[in-house]
Amino acid sequence: MLQAPDIQRLLVVMAHPDDVDFGSAGTMAWLTSNGVHVTYCLVTDGDAGGSDRTISRHEMAALRRKEQTEAAHAVGVHDLVFLGYPDGRVECTLELRRDISRVIREVRPQVVVTQSPERNLDRIFASHPDHLAAGEAAMCAVYPDARNPFAYPELLESGLEPWTVDEIWLSGHPQPSDFVDVTDFVERKFEALLSHASQHPEPDGMQVRVREWMRLTGVAAGFADGRLGEAFRVVRAN
């Protein structure tokens, strides 16, 4: 089980607004409660989300930025970066790797939390193509891009010195290695999730499903009965 970390800064890189809240909001609340400064980097604005066809995609993007900002505040996160890539069309391009590398060099985190670049055949919804691409791009940005002074010389020219991340925590990985007991933070997690009102036509059902996922994660982690967990594959990156 992951212990209260001896880190100062952590960066979360996710494809869409609400991705971090489904997989990691309890962990984010735990981290910020332990004094860790957390920054969110959202690759897209989630403009392809929701089912209301009367809302323009431009309006949806603005709404989802607002919802994600409110959700972040619920778990103690106040720094957010939106890269503005098109929802549903994320690819692991050199441009995306550069943009994530820029954020890493700006934030200078010890840990990067991102999505698994490996497809989880037991939970296909965790393996949206945008998730896989965002996770791969973030891993490439951690190694080798952000630490290499000769990668993306325009970053160095703008004053952003290389930075080496210590660990990557992969959310949604089919073979997690570490767990966080988030039972004491579950209400803050649900406050964050419910901030994404445009995405939850049945909020009560969503809470039942997510609580059951966390219960099963707690069982897999060996937690005491009734304890709730979030899972990560931890990768050493230095």
- pLDDT tens per residue, range 57-105: 899 999 999 999 999 999 999 999 999 999 999 999 999 999 999 999 9
The burial class, CB within 10 Å (0-12 / 13-18 / 19+), for 201 is exposed
Of 169, 152, 212, 151, nearest to 36 (Cα)? 169
**How far are the Cα atoms of 30, 91, 194, 238 from residue 185, in angstroms, in the given order?**
7, 33, 15, 30
Task: For residue 13, give the CATH number of its domain.
Answer: 3.40.50.10320
- Is 3 within a domain? no
pLDDT at residue 49, as a whole number: 82
Of 103, 89, 191, nearest to 142 (Cα)? 103
Judged against a pLDDT cut of 90, whether residue 205 lies above it is answered with yes
pLDDT at residue 14, as a whole number: 98
- Is 156 within a domain? yes
- The whole-chain average pLDDT of the chain stands at 95
- Is 23 within a domain? yes
> CA-CA distance, 70 to 78, in Å (whole number)?
9
Total Cβ atoms within 10 A of residue 53: 6
Quick one: average pLDDT of 3-13? 87
pLDDT at residue 120, as a whole number: 85
The first and second tokens of residue 160, run together, are 């952003």
Query: SS3 for 38?
Result: strand
Q: How many domains does the chain have?
A: 1
Judged against a pLDDT cut of 70, whether residue 130 lies above it is answered with yes
- Is 158 within a domain? yes
pLDDT at residue 158, as a whole number: 96
> CA-CA distance, 223 to 65, in Å (whole number)?
35
> CA-CA distance, 142 to 104, in Å (whole number)?
8
- Is 4 within a domain? no
pLDDT, tens only, 138-152? 999 999 999 999 999
- Is 68 within a domain? yes
pLDDT at residue 4, as a whole number: 62
Q: Residue 30 sits in which domain range?
A: 9-236
- Is 56 within a domain? yes
pLDDT at residue 6, as a whole number: 83
pLDDT at residue 54, as a whole number: 85
pLDDT at residue 123, as a whole number: 79
Q: Is the distance from CB of 229 to CB of 221 less than 8 angstroms?
A: yes
The first and second tokens of residue 192, run together, are 């964050």
pLDDT at residue 202, as a whole number: 92
> CA-CA distance, 159 to 154, in Å (whole number)?
9
pLDDT at residue 126, as a whole number: 79
- Is 221 within a domain? yes
> CA-CA distance, 165 to 138, in Å (whole number)?
11
> CA-CA distance, 96 to 106, in Å (whole number)?
15
Quick one: average pLDDT of 29-54? 92
